[in-house]
Structure 1
């Protein structure tokens, strides 16, 4: 029997550069956190919106939430995984951030199809910048202990975790869809491309 895969929509906090909560931005007719959730439902057995406690109060049913553990403090996206593995230590997670409006269900299905579940982790890889995309990634249950160890050592970078553990590099068929939108100017340009159905 194939092991269950849980999906995690990572909301994050208020982006300084964007000036607003990126999970609330509407690219596709609804807040991005709900759009990503619904994409993950096609790939995962169960999906949660990972958020801070303030964001949790605004999330409507039927979307399931996983609010960051209160004692984690400001450790960025690592809080989402620390909470996830604390809640479900025997599960694997597919993580998608709200920063990538061009990612589609097809992209996620292609990733899941070739995923080596024996790897500790696997992430979309940006060849141009020679970096992993930690919020377009798979984290196996074995990641949990290592991420907890890093947190205890005051190391909060998921990029560092992926590099140090030799995470599998996934080169997507359409790499331009990995674009992270972080400023109001980028948002307006992305919104226009999506409205015009410009393929990336």
Structure 2
């Protein structure tokens, strides 16, 4: 029997550079956290929005949420993954952040097909910056213990986890879709670009 894949939408907090909660930005006629959730529903058996407790209050009821457990609050995106592993320790997770408005269902489907089951984790890889994109990644249930070990050592970087464990590097056929939008200026450019694509 094939193992179920669960999807995690990583909300994050209020970005200092953006000046607002990126999960609430509307690129496609709805808050980005719901757009990503619905995109993941095409790929995953279940989907959850990982959020802090303040964000949970504003999440519409039809979307399942996983608020960060108290012990993991304020440690960044790792909190969402650790919370998910706490509830579903035997599942693999496809993680997508709300920072990537250009990413498509096709990109994610191709990525999931590329994942090797014997890997601990895999993520989109940005060859220009030579870094992983940890919030566009797949984390197997086998990664749980290592991520928990890092947490115990006050190491909260998923980028560090991926590097140290030689995670799979996925080179997208459409690297421009990997752009992370973190400022109001880039947000406006993304909105204008997306509107043009929709109108074509």
TM-score by length of 1: 0.97
1:120: how far off?
0.1
How far, CA to CA, are the matches of 2:130 and 2:105 in structure 1?
24
How far, CA to CA, are the matches of 1:134 and 1:87 in structure 2?
21
Deviations 1:128-169 (A, max 9, x none): 000000000000001111000000001000000000000000
Aligned residue in 1 for 2:95: 95
1:117: how far off?
2.0
Alignment of 1:47-196 (within 5 A): 47-196=47-196
Deviations 1:100-151 (A, max 9, x none): 0000111111111221122100000000000000000000001111000000
Q: Which has the higher helix share?
A: 2
Unaligned ranges ≥5, structure 2: none
Unaligned ranges ≥5, structure 1: none
| Runs of 4 or more above 6 Å deviation | none
Give the 3-state SS of the residue equivalent to 1:133 in structure 2.
Answer: strand
1:73: how far off?
2.8
Give the 3-state SS of the residue equivalent to 2:72 in structure 1.
Answer: coil
Equivalenced residue count is: 198
Give the 3-state SS of the residue equivalent to 1:112 in structure 2.
Answer: helix
Aligned residue in 2 for 1:5: 5
1:10: how far off?
0.1
How far, CA to CA, are the matches of 1:78 and 1:111 in structure 2?
21
How far, CA to CA, are the matches of 2:56 and 2:130 in structure 1?
34
Which segment is superposed worse, 32-41 or 69-78?
69-78
